[in-house]
């Protein structure tokens, strides 16, 4: 089967698509003509509103829910997108959680909850994507630039994202012969609710100043790279983790 090259007939599923980076990715792909599955875990109304906004503008979108770590729920979400739009060409897995405490102080229940979403959830989504993506397709996972920055307090979070990077590399090789790429984006400090939660203005300003570009990233900055990797233009990039952080590391 030939590689699909026209983004106007491509279908994408964006996990965590109801807010933050995920929402920006949904909007960016919709502008390119993708039919988009807008996945949510808890923000059903927000996801449905985003899907309705895209549809009202002449695009195609569908809100689908489910815990990313629940294989039955995610199989149903993938099924719904394929049934509505006829197949699947891109999966952008932005869904994740972050708990920040020094390693010596983190409650192990918080560790387990974060790793359930970030590790098991990534495995479940990647497994579904590996089974379903059409030739010419792409899977984009999300890691973090803190892998290189090594901020104190991020130990458990970075451990979960280290697993994501390893899974990305292995799956890219396992899909040899399928004409499907697997990559990961590792954002730096980005102005999303997930990043800003619990940080005072002094901390935010200090982190923003670390980039040579002297600002925080925006969800739209990250969405540009996600759209590139998800589409035909980025199809020669495979098995990579790209630090998308304005030059911090």
* Res 6: pLDDT: 67
Domains of the chain, CATH where assigned = 7-244 (3.40.50.720)
DSSP letter for each residue of 6-48: -GGG-EEEEETTTSHHHHHHHHHHHHTT-EEEEEESS-HHHHH
Catalytic residues: 157
* Res 206: pLDDT: 87
* Res 200: pLDDT: 84
Q: Which pTM was predicted?
A: 0.94
What are the DSSP E strand ranges found in 59-112?
60-65, 90-93
Please, are residues 40 and 65 in contact by the beta-carbon 8 Å criterion? yes
Residues in the chain with pLDDT < 70?
1-6
DSSP letter for each residue of 154-208: -HHHHHHHHHHHHHHHHHHHHTTTS--EEEEEEE-SB-SHHHHTT--HHHHHHHH
Please, are residues 28 and 228 in contact by the beta-carbon 8 Å criterion? no
Q: How far is CA 66 from CA 20, 70, 88, 99, 155, in A?
A: 18, 7, 18, 21, 27
HSE-CB for 23 with a 13 A CA cutoff: 15
CA 195, CA 204: separation in Å to the nearest integer?
9
Q: What is the DSSP letter of 60?
A: E
Q: How far is CA 46 from CA 33, 55, 156, in A?
A: 21, 14, 29
* Res 5: pLDDT: 53
* Res 194: pLDDT: 72
pLDDT in tens, 210-232: 899 989 999 999 999 999 999 99
């Amino acid at each position: 089967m030939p590689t699909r090259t026209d983004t106007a007939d491509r279908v994408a599923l964006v996990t965590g698509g109801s807010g933050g980076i995920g929402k920006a990715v949904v909007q960016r792909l919709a502008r390119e003509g993708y039919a988009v599955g807008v996945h949510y875990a808890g923000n059903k109304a927000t996801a449905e509103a985003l899907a309705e906004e895209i549809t009202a503008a002449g695009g195609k979108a569908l809100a689908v829910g489910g815990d990313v770590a629940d294989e039955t729920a995610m199989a149903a979400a993938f099924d719904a997108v394929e049934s509505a739009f006829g197949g699947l060409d891109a999966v952008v897995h932005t869904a994740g959680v972050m708990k920040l405490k020094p390693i010596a102080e983190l409650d192990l229940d918080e560790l387990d909850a974060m790793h359930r979403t970030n590790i098991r959830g990534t495995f479940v989504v990647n497994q579904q994507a590996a089974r379903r993506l059409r030739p010419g397709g792409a899977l984009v996972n999300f890691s973090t630039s803190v892998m290189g920055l090594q901020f104190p307090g991020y130990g458990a979070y970075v451990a979960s994202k280290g697993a994501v990077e390893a899974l990305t590399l292995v799956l890219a090789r396992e899909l040899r012969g399928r004409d499907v790429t697997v990559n990961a984006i590792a954002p730096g400090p980005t102005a999303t609710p997930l990043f800003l939660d619990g940080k005072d203005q002094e901390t935010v300003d200090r982190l923003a100043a670390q980039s040579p570009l002297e600002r925080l990233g925006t969800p739209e900055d990250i969405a540009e790279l996600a759209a590139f990797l998800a589409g035909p233009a980025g199809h020669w990039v495979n098995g990579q983790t790209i630090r998308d952080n304005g030059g911090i590391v």
